[in-house]
A and B are shown apart, each in its own frame.
Chain A
Amino acid sequence: MTEQRQLADRESVIQVNKMNKWYGDFHVLTDINLDVKQGERIVICGPSGSGKSTLIRCLNRLEEHQEGDITVNGIELGDNVKNIEVIRKDVCMVFQHFNLFPHLTVLDNLTLAPMFVLKQPKREAEATAMKFLERVKIAEQANKYPGQLSGGQQQRVAIARSLCMNPKVMLFDEPTSALDPEMIKEVLDVMIELAEEGMTMLCVTHEMGFAKQVADRVIFMDAGQIVEENEPHEFFNNPQNDRTKLFLSQILGH
């Protein structure tokens, strides 16, 4: 377990204020309030359909919210396309199904966005890409295509691809759920390393070991609401809400 870190006096990177979202008539997120500090590691868990993926997908506007405010780095996230573009440069997402670009080599997957969005020269983008590929221990695969890699390798490439954008925040949407069990660890190791380097992370996951090891805060969601949030030690050992207790007994019980 990590020691209690002093986050309260840090700057907020993401502020969500009374956010509501509907799919048609279905109220998928209800009155979400969230304040993410610089360098904070947050794990979001909850039963399936509780809205946790939808919540983080709202934070870089893959989904739009209907009510309330989301502010990222002081920029209001709304219908303004320019704002969305600016925010997406700083907030990157790692997906459950990796979503690498299958027609590009690993290296081209990593350099595409830095070259076109950040306008980096090709050489610089490639140098950065190789640096991050080495960090996720996969540099030797740079010239292969995603289809030639294992799931775990693909997810590590996807993480490296996000890192190349030099993001301020990284969102993880169940990054290990589509992996074979023996590959989960290699991806979690990369994420733990990132967390220890101070990356601001919001991570939707069922890996409770990861939550205990690196999270500053665990958020439990159910039926579109944040039901309980606490630092991990308290969250796991002393849950307050009945639904949290039930959920924890189900996933930790076996």
Chain B
Amino acid sequence: MTETTNRARPISGPVLNRSLRWMKENLFSTPLNTVITLLCVYIIWSVLEVLVSWAVVNASFGAAKEACEAATGACWAYVHDMWRFLLFGTFPADQHWRPLLAMVMLTSGMLLSMNRRFWSPWLAVAWIVGFIAVYFVLRGGVLGLPPVRTAQWGGLTLTLVLAVVGIAFAAPLALLLALGRRSEMPLIKVVCIVIIEVFRGVPLISVLFMASVMFPLFLPEGVSIDVLLRAQIGIIFFQAAYLAEVFRGGMQAIPKGQYEAADSLGLNYWQKTFKIILPQALRLVIPPTMSTFISLFKDTSLVVIIGLFDLLAATRAAVNDPMWRQQFIEAYLFIALIYFCFCFFMSRYSAYLDNDLKKSTSH
């Protein structure tokens, strides 16, 4: 009834008309609905108002620290002063273009890999070459670049290196573990179960701790493995153990008929696995896989306990600077925004990929 009258006299333009009708149907359809809508608007407004007045209205945006003293809101001069430290950690200041280049290489590599057109075995080769390049860009010691010890790598650069290398190696390792756990060969099966259960059964912190403190005790004298590498390997195994169970779940969801059809056509184990089972199984588990990647990205912040200096650790060090004591909220908000951008982007990509693959194989 109301709808017909509404349609009878258009207000101004179809867009406004449509959004008004949408609000009427969804937000104000019943008295109760109207009350809830108004209440929500009030709550959102009261939170936003505080935030906006702190972060924008009463904030000081100048680069000078002195300006902050007058302002009652946020002091963005802090971020202005500290962003290099947050992004690059203690990397020598005159070499900052190197971690920047490394980050550009890693993120553009990720963006390119998201396009399904590039999915081929060559992509794996490109990644390995890319990792070697990133490693030498950061470490230096070649082509006249001054060497920089891994202990000096830090900030967002370190977070990205740990996360991207972690994802790139945890995924194939997880695949092998998942296949191994489903294998009929007892030795392989037992080894895979032990690896998965051990790494899933302990917190990441203790994995990192063991990698940094206990692992060197088992090495012969004179042999030492870089602490960053040890942490990286710890992260890879830890996330691979989780991911292996995600993949295994996907494989178990594939109907028996698919295995039988592949068998009866004479496909061998590897052909069956890589051409028939995995393409279907991995599609099923895109959302939980991306969840694991997102948690890997955030969990890299735990490397701080073994003395590595990632984005979060850099921030913590920065707020301990006596000059800037007051500004820890700005610092944490800033890096929260960085973490959120990466994680939200991964989450959106997962939803897009899921949809895109579904669309292409059905009506």
Q: Does A99 contact B (CB under 8 A)?
A: yes
Assuming the contacts A103-B361, A148-B363, asked whether A95 and B267 have C-beta atoms less than 8 A apart, the reply is no
Write the chain B residue with the least CB distance to A108: B275
Cβ contact within 8 Å between B266 and A85: yes
Contact of A99 among B260, B283, B363 (CB under 8 A): B260
Q: Which of B258, B262, B268, B361 has the most CB of A within 10 A?
A: B361
State which of B260, B262, B276, B362 has its C-beta within 8 Å of the C-beta of A147: B362
For the complex formed, measure the closest distance between the CB of B45 and the CB atoms of chain A, giving whole angstroms: 47
Closest A residue, CB atoms, query B357: A103
Provide the residues of chain A in CB contact with B152, threshold 8 Å: none
**B residues 245-277 with Cβ under 8 Å of A?**
255, 257-258, 260-268, 271, 275-276
Query: B107 contacts the other chain (Cβ, under 8 Å)?
Result: no
Interface size class of A (residues with CB under 8 A): 20 to 34
Min CB distance, B313 to chain A, in Å?
A: 43
Contact between B265 and A117, CB atoms less than 8 A apart:
yes
CA distance A97 to B360 in the complex (A): 22
Mark B25-66 against chain A: 1 for CB-CB distance below 8 A, else 0.
000000000000000000000000000000000000000000
A112 at the interface (CB under 8 A from B): yes
B363 cross-chain contacts in A, Cβ below 8 A: 147-148
Question: In the complex, how many angstroms separate the beta carbon of B272 from the nearest chain A beta carbon?
Answer: 10
A62 and B265 alpha carbons, distance in the complex (Å): 11
Known: A112-B275, A148-B363. A88 touches B263 (CB 8 A): yes
B280 located at the interface, meaning its Cβ lies under 8 Å from any Cβ of chain A in the complex:
yes
Task: Select A62's contact among B260, B275, B279, B361, beta carbons within 8 Å.
Answer: B260
Report B263-310 residues with CB < 8 Å from chain A CB.
263-268, 271, 275-276, 279-280, 283
Interfacial chain B residues near A100, Cβ < 8 Å: 261
Task: Using known A-B contacts A99-B260, A116-B271, determine if residue A147 contacts B361 with beta carbons closer than 8 Å.
Answer: yes
A88 to B266, CA, bound (A): 5
Chain A min CB distance to B260 (Å): 5
B180 to chain A minimum Cβ distance, whole angstroms, is 19
Q: Note all chain B residues with C-beta closer than 8 A to A20.
A: none
Report yes or no: A88 in contact with B361, Cβ–Cβ below 8 A.
no
Q: Which residues of A contact B265 (CB under 8 A)?
A: 88, 92, 112-113, 117, 161-162, 165
B283: shortest Cβ distance to chain A, in Å?
Answer: 7
Residues A102 and B264 in contact, CB atoms below 8 Å apart:
no
The answer to whether A62 touches B362 (Cβ under 8 A) is no
Shortest beta-carbon distance, A90 to chain B, in Å? 9
The answer to whether B361 touches A145 (Cβ under 8 A) is yes
User: How many residues of B sit at the interface, in one of the four size bands?
Assistant: 20 to 34
Asked if residues B362 and A85 are in contact (CB atoms below 8 Å), the reply is no
Inter-chain contacts of A161 with B (CB < 8 A): 265
A88 to B262, CA, bound (A): 10
Q: Which residues of B contact A116 (CB under 8 A)?
A: 267, 271, 275
The residue on B at minimum CB distance from A92 is B264
A80-121 CB contact bits vs B (8 Å, 1 = yes)?
Answer: 000001001101110101011111000000001100110000
- Interchain CB contact under 8 A, B280 and A103: yes
Are A60 and B264 within 8 A (Cβ)? yes
Q: How far is the CB of B355 from chain A (nearest CB, A)?
A: 15
> Can you name the residue of chain A whose Cβ is closest to the Cβ of B280?
A103
Flag if A103 contacts B283 (CB, 8 Å): yes
Interface residues of A in 105-157 (CB under 8 A from B): 112-113, 116-117, 145, 147-148
Known: A102-B280, A103-B280, A103-B283. A62 touches B263 (CB 8 A): yes
Q: Are B361 and A117 touching (Cβ within 8 A)?
A: no
Known A102-B361, A103-B361: A85·B261 in contact at CB below 8 Å: no
Most chain B Cβ neighbours within 10 Å, of A62, A85, A103: A103
In the bound complex, do residue A95 and residue B261 qualify as a contact, i.e. CB atoms below 8 Å apart? yes
Contact A148 B267 (CB under 8 A): no
Chain B residue at minimum C-beta to C-beta distance from A62:
B260
Q: How far is the CA of A116 from the CA of B361 in the complex (A)?
A: 23
State A116–B262 Cα separation when bound (angstroms): 11
The distance in angstroms between the C-alpha atoms of A233 and B202, with both chains bound, is 71
Docked-complex contact A101 and B261, CB < 8 angstroms:
yes
Task: Please state if B361 and A113 are interface contacts (CB–CB under 8 Å).
Answer: no
The answer to whether A62 and B268 touch across the interface, beta carbons within 8 angstroms, is no
Of the listed residues B266, B271, B361, the one surrounded by the most CB atoms of chain A closer than 10 A to its CB is B266
User: Which of B255, B258, B260, B363 counts the most chain A CB atoms within 10 A?
Assistant: B260
- Closest beta carbon of chain B to A223's beta carbon, Å: 25
> Using Cβ atoms and an 8 Å threshold, which residues of chain B touch A89?
266
Alpha-carbon distance between A93 and B267 when the two chains are bound, in angstroms? 13
A selection of 25 A-B contacts at a CB cut-off of 8 Å is A88-B264, A89-B266, A91-B264, A93-B260, A93-B264, A95-B261, A99-B255, A99-B258, A100-B261, A101-B262, A102-B280, A102-B361, A103-B280, A112-B275, A113-B265, A113-B267, A116-B267, A117-B267, A117-B268, A145-B360, A147-B361, A147-B362, A147-B363, A148-B362, A161-B265
Chain A interfacial positions (CB closer than 8 Å to B): 60-62, 85, 88-89, 91-93, 95, 97, 99-103, 112-113, 116-117, 145, 147-148, 161-162, 165
Chain B residues at the A interface, C-beta cutoff of 8 Å:
255, 257-258, 260-268, 271, 275-276, 279-280, 283, 360-363
Give 3 closest A-B pairs by Cβ, nearest first: A99-B261, A113-B265, A88-B266
